[in-house]
Structure 1
Amino acid sequence: MSDLQSTLPTIGILGAGKVGTVLSRLLLAAGYPVHIAGSGSPAKISLIIDVLAPGAVAMTAADVARTSDIVILALPLGKYRSIPADLLEGKLVVDAMNYWWEVDGIRDDLNDPRVSTSELIQSFLPTSRVVKAYNHMGYHDLDEGPTPAGTPGRKAIGIAGDDDLALSDVAALVDASGFDPVLVGSLRDSIALQPGSELFGANFTASGVQDALTRFPTTERGLEVAAAREQEIAA
Structure 2
Amino acid sequence: MRSRSRRVSTHSSGTAQTPPSRSACQRANRRVTFTMINLRVPARTEDTPPPRRAAADLCRRSRAARMRNPAWWPQVRADMTTIGLIGSGNIGSTVARLAVAAGYDVVLSNSRGPETLRDLVAELGPRARAGTPAQAATAGDIAVVTVPLKAYRDVPADALAGKVVIDTNNYYPERDGVIAELEDGSATTGELLQRHLADAHVVKGFNNIYFKHLATLSRPAGAADRTALPIAGDDAGAKRTVTGFLDRIGYDTVDVGPLAENWRTQRDTPVYVTPYGSFTDPVGTPADAGTVRKAVAAATPDAG
Could you tell me the TM-score, scaled by structure 1's length? Answer: 0.85
CA contact (8 A) 2:228 2:292 kept: yes
TM-superposed deviation, 1:106: 3.5
C-alpha distance in 1, partners of 2:120/2:221? Answer: 30
String of CA shifts for 1:123-168, please: whole Å, max 9, x gaps. 1111111111111111010011100011112111101111111110
CA contact (8 A) 2:219 2:225 kept: no
AA partner of residue 72 (structure 1):
V
C-alpha distance in 2, partners of 1:162/1:22? Answer: 26
C-alpha distance in 1, partners of 2:83/2:199? Answer: 19
C-alpha distance in 1, partners of 2:203/2:179? Answer: 22
Alignment of 1:196-235 (within 5 A): 196-202=268-274, 203=276, 204-216=287-299, 222-224=300-302
TM-superposed deviation, 1:44: 2.0
C-alpha distance in 1, partners of 2:256/2:289? Answer: 11
TM-superposed deviation, 1:119: 0.6
Pairing partner for 1:14 from 76, 86, 92: 86
TM-superposed deviation, 1:65: 1.0
TM-superposed deviation, 1:98: 1.1
The residue matched to 2:298 in structure 1 has which SS?
Answer: helix
C-alpha distance in 2, partners of 1:196/1:37? Answer: 29
TM-superposed deviation, 1:110: 4.2
1:123 equivalent in alignment to 2:206: no
AA partner of residue 206 (structure 1):
A
CA contact (8 A) 1:8 1:33 kept: no
Aligned residue in 2 for 1:98:
170
The residue matched to 1:24 in structure 2 has which SS?
Answer: helix
CA contact (8 A) 2:80 2:141 kept: no
Pairing partner for 2:108 from 24, 36, 59: 36
Q: Where in structure 1 are there 5+ consecutive unaligned residues? A: 1-5, 217-221, 226-235
TM-superposed deviation, 1:32: 0.8
String of CA shifts for 1:43-72, please: whole Å, max 9, x gaps. 222234323x44421101111111111110
Sort the Cα spacing of 1:158 and 1:126 in 2 relative to 1 into closer, same or farther, 3 A. same
CA contact (8 A) 1:21 1:49 kept: no
Q: Where in structure 2 are there 5+ consecutive unaligned residues? A: 1-77, 277-286
Sort the Cα spacing of 1:114 and 1:196 in 2 relative to 1 into closer, same or farther, 3 A. farther
* Larger helix share, 1 or 2: 1
The residue matched to 1:224 in structure 2 has which SS?
Answer: coil
Aligned residue in 2 for 1:230:
none
Alignment of 1:126-137 (within 5 A): 126-137=198-209
String of CA shifts for 1:175-214, please: whole Å, max 9, x gaps. 1111111111111111101112111113221110111122
Identity across the alignment (%): 35
AA partner of residue 64 (structure 1):
A
Moved more, 88-97 or 54-63: 54-63
C-alpha distance in 1, partners of 2:114/2:184? Answer: 35
Pairing partner for 2:264 from 171, 192, 214: 192
Larger radius of gyration: 2
TM-superposed deviation, 1:108: 3.4
Sort the Cα spacing of 1:46 and 1:198 in 2 relative to 1 into closer, same or farther, 3 A. same
Q: How many residues align?
A: 214
Could you tell me the TM-score, scaled by structure 2's length? Answer: 0.67
C-alpha distance in 1, partners of 2:245/2:151? Answer: 25
C-alpha distance in 1, partners of 2:132/2:290? Answer: 39
Pairing partner for 1:26 from 69, 91, 98: 98
C-alpha distance in 2, partners of 1:112/1:141? Answer: 31
Sort the Cα spacing of 1:213 and 1:44 in 2 relative to 1 into closer, same or farther, 3 A. closer
CA contact (8 A) 1:76 1:97 kept: yes
C-alpha distance in 2, partners of 1:114/1:132? Answer: 17
Sort the Cα spacing of 1:63 and 1:163 in 2 relative to 1 into closer, same or farther, 3 A. same
AA partner of residue 229 (structure 2):
I
